[in-house]
Amino acid sequence: MENLFADRVHPETASRLAGLFPVMDYDDAIKFTAGAPAENLFPSDEMKQAYLAAMAAEGDHTFQYHTVEGPYELRERLAKRARERMKITDAKPENVMLTAGGQQGIDLVAKLLLNKGDAMVVEAPTYVGALASFDMYEPTYYEVNLEADGMAIDQLETLLRAHPDIKFLYTVADFHNPGGVTLSLAKRQRLVELANQYDFMILEDTPYRDLRYVGESLPTIKSFDTEGRVIFLSSFSKVLMPALRLGWLVADEKVLKQLYKLKEGADLEVPNLTAAAVNNFLANNSLDDHIAKLNQEYLIRQQAMLKAIATYMPEGVTATKPEGGFFTWVTVPESINTTDLLYNEATPNQHIAYVPSKNFYAYKDHTNGMRLNFTGLTPAQIDDGMKRLGTLLADRLTKVIN
Amino acid sequence: MENLFADRVHPETASRLAGLFPVMDYDDAIKFTAGAPAENLFPSDEMKQAYLAAMAAEGDHTFQYHTVEGPYELRERLAKRARERMKITDAKPENVMLTAGGQQGIDLVAKLLLNKGDAMVVEAPTYVGALASFDMYEPTYYEVNLEADGMAIDQLETLLRAHPDIKFLYTVADFHNPGGVTLSLAKRQRLVELANQYDFMILEDTPYRDLRYVGESLPTIKSFDTEGRVIFLSSFSKVLMPALRLGWLVADEKVLKQLYKLKEGADLEVPNLTAAAVNNFLANNSLDDHIAKLNQEYLIRQQAMLKAIATYMPEGVTATKPEGGFFTWVTVPESINTTDLLYNEATPNQHIAYVPSKNFYAYKDHTNGMRLNFTGLTPAQIDDGMKRLGTLLADRLTKVIN
């Protein structure tokens, strides 16, 4: 039977997402693994009211088939948000598409663009869920390194010169997952220039964009787009709640027309009750006030993480300094394999867990990094966990030297 | 920009689903187009309670990330249903996968099996939404005609001999959409034998299976499967509510392992609130009692349709006699193009609408059929609408003869 499977699935290959989150049954376990928002900050009561209002407004029809596009009013709200908060000044409701979480946005854009073997660029490291989606369209990956101010744009240009067939670039420009860095203003502008010059499309994935704890927001890459080459993707998973499974993207109408065709084939239409509930929530609550509340709390945790890094990380270990988002990225000397360290020492001995670098690289060939989440833990947990990690790394590095 | 789109999307090609449902602003309009269930029969109050109970049970955690598989308890219930009602005697929760409507089940199975150009079999006619999904994996289609007892199995065997590379067959075996016919017991058994002999997979799509108004249920194709070649797909859209966007499939664990990988890439996970609500609904209500209520009402409409066909259809026009489901399929003489008839005469003059045959064929090359829904109209509307259709067809046929 497995002989009938398509090339894209290899029976012996594990999911990109498998084994990312080790189970630890210790009372004193501290997990830096999570990519989940703090659920005690969810506006659950308000969302419950929004669900009830949606059902009351439409009655039985709430549960009937609706459309592939979902409620126009919700797309109007999001277009307004795109214009005002994302500086995508020409965004209309007709440019907004609702998706099943940001993940479906990634998947549909990949499906729109990628024939088997097509050339695309991803950051190294990059979001593992995006690789999980891209893999299934069998592209040829080219990697661009991350720097403190986002992707290495000169390296990108060299790549584009060498491989003019590159047609698609995926980036997490704000508070990178897993890198923690943000693409600078100058690089954003340069990236759009390169896209125009070398004829490729950009997917700007921004689930963390609104979660900025210090400094000022940068304009979106999409705000510099003059040729409809940039698809801007956002999500309610991190700023509201993940289980809504609702994302949204902004793109040229020619792009959306094809994406709707793909969405019809993929899952027919937007789930009406969810979309109507989120529309009600946005009508009756301030999303920005809610985000401000999140940022206030997450700032405390981000500062705890930066302090712990400065205090506990030994010589030779570096970490990115995120101004927002969920993660910092730690790089250790190449003598340390972070996957082995996790399973052989960090988890069983120190009772801490992180996500090792391997899975965040298209070719799984980087073994000396780790992703640490700081939004899912208290400052005390962060301090305690980072102390344990620092001790472990210092011990390993001493052993290597001696 | 469109030069960067993948081969699967052609900017000039309309969606398979576009234009299927003409707008008619007439007071006396009668639409046989719908594929939607009667919403006045929805158990909306019970479902509202199920949503509230789900939120109460899990609190804030309701809205957190959960898993790609969704609630185990719901999969347990569905495995039990598969064993008892579908006679899939070895179904375990580990064989059940939750999908975003039946549509995602179709899409993921296509993604599992189809490389570009791979050979697959569809019925002629077949479900247009399935074609919308399959198209995007660029298969080579082979068509098998529908007969009164389902697909022409001898024609299938001839095809398999001529094209031994056929790897995948899609069928709507119970109350076919759009054909209205049901695959006989003997053909079900023979189909599995052929799959074993000629080495192909079967997707058995059964959204209407429980909606039988007369006669006895036949065992599922999956119940005859001995080699894990059959994927059984069901949905809550027709027996509960479409806006839930919840379907489920039963397959071999080796198949599910790959389908979960594909689902992670497509939309990460099952929407927890929906799945928890449906689980609560099933715990506190009898789905079978609800289905019995639907069948009681739909029987009246099906009988009205059969009577109207006998009364009003002129010589030379034939219609299938569905024992369940939503549709009957009408075949008219080849001199009549049902697309032209719809837009030039049926809609503007008779104020009736149906779905013309063209879109239900992989190659869009059949123009003398139409799909008529009978579950969305009252007996009086069915009588009135069919009288108008009969008059129109009789008139056209008289003109052709003279």
Which pLDDT belongs to residue A55?
98
| pLDDT tens profile A201-229 | 999 999 999 999 999 999 999 999 999 99
Q: Hey, CA dihedral for A293, A296, A298, A301, is it positive or negative? A: negative
Q: Out of B101, B266, B267, whose CB is closest to A268?
A: B101
Q: What angle, rounded to 10 degrees, do the helices at B101-113 and B253-267 form?
A: 110
Q: Is A274 within 8 Å of B272 when comparing Cβ atoms?
A: no
Which chain B residues touch A272 with a CB distance below 8 Å?
243
Which chain B residues touch A44 with a CB distance below 8 Å?
55, 59-60, 62-63
Separation in Å, CA of B293 to nearest CA in chain A: 16
Class of domain A44-285 (CATH, top level):
alpha beta
**Three-state SS at A118:** coil
Comparing C-alpha atoms, which of B144, B148, B123 is closest to residue B318? B148
From chain A residues 349-378, the ones with a CB under 8 A of any chain B CB are: none
Q: Say yes or no: A293 contacts chain B, CB-CB below 8 A.
A: no
Which pLDDT belongs to residue A87?
95
The residue of chain B nearest to residue A41, with distances taken between CA atoms, is: B60
Which pLDDT belongs to residue B402?
58
Separation in Å, CA of B397 to nearest CA in chain A: 36
Percent share of chain B, pLDDT over 70:
99
Residue in A31, A48, A62, A65 to test binding to B, most B beta-carbons within 10 Å: A65
| pLDDT tens profile A9-24 | 987 777 888 777 777 8
Separation in Å, CA of B127 to nearest CA in chain A: 12
- Which H or E element spans position B274? helix B272-284
| pLDDT tens profile A332-382 | 999 999 999 999 999 999 999 999 999 899 999 999 999 999 999 999 999
Q: Say yes or no: B9 contacts chain A, CB-CB below 8 A.
A: yes
| pLDDT tens profile B8-55 | 998 777 788 877 777 788 999 999 998 899 999 999 999 999 999 999
pLDDT bracket for residue B147 (50, 70, 90):
very high
Beta bridge partners of A151: A146
Q: Is B62 within 8 Å of A44 when comparing Cβ atoms?
A: yes
The residue of chain B nearest to residue A45, with distances taken between CA atoms, is: B60
DSSP letter at B324?
B
Q: Say yes or no: B23 contacts chain A, CB-CB below 8 A.
A: no
Which chain A residues touch B267 with a CB distance below 8 Å?
100-101, 103-104, 107, 245, 267
Which chain A residues touch B17 with a CB distance below 8 Å?
264
Class of domain B2-42+289-401 (CATH, top level):
alpha beta
From chain B residues 151-170, the ones with a CB under 8 A of any chain A CB are: 167-168
What are the CA-CA distances from residue A255 to residues A199, A230, A347, B12 (Å)? 15, 10, 46, 12
Q: Say yes or no: A290 contacts chain B, CB-CB below 8 A.
A: no
In whole angstroms, what is the distance from residue B393 CA to residue B371 CA? 15
Q: What is the mean pLDDT of residues B115-124?
A: 98
Q: Say yes or no: B252 contacts chain A, CB-CB below 8 A.
A: yes
Q: Out of B6, B40, B65, whose CB is closest to A242?
A: B65
Q: Hey, CA dihedral for A26, A31, A36, A41, is it positive or negative? A: positive
Does B297 score more than 80 pLDDT? Answer: yes
Which pLDDT belongs to residue A252?
97
Q: Say yes or no: B56 contacts chain A, CB-CB below 8 A.
A: no
Q: Hey, CA dihedral for A269, A271, A277, A278, is it positive or negative? A: negative
Q: Collect all residues with Cβ–Cβ distance below 8 Å to B255 and sequence separation of at least 6.
A: A1, B112, B228, B231
Separation in Å, CA of A240 to nearest CA in chain B: 9
Q: Is A242 within 8 Å of B63 when comparing Cβ atoms?
A: yes
How is chain A split into domains, by residue range? 2-42+289-401, 44-285
Q: What angle do CA B307, B313, B318 make, to 5 degrees?
A: 95
The residue with tokens 């940039």 is A230
Which pLDDT belongs to residue A400?
63
In whole angstroms, what is the distance from residue A342 CA to residue A106 CA? 30
Does A399 score more than 80 pLDDT? Answer: no
Q: Say yes or no: A48 contacts chain B, CB-CB below 8 A.
A: yes
Q: Is A100 within 8 Å of B103 when comparing Cβ atoms?
A: no
> E strands, B129-277, where?
140-147, 150-151, 168-171, 201-205, 230-235, 247-250
